[in-house]
Amino acid sequence: MSALAHRLAEHRATRDAARVAFDAHYAAIKADIDERGIGGRLADEAIEKAIDVLDEAVTVVEEHPAAVGGTFTALVLWIFRNPILSLVSDVLGRLHGEGSHGNDSKKEFDGERS
pLDDT in tens, 56-106: 999 999 999 999 999 999 999 999 999 999 999 999 989 888 655 545 444
Q: H or E element: which one contains 112?
A: none
Q: Which amino acid is at 20?
A: V
pTM: 0.42
Residue 33 makes CB contacts below 8 A (sequence gap 6+) with 41
Check if the beta carbon of residue 38 is closer than 8 Å to that of residue 30. Answer: no
| Percent of all residues in the chain with a pLDDT value above 70, rounded to a whole number | 84
Give the residue among 48, 53, 76 at the shortest CA–CA distance from 61.
53
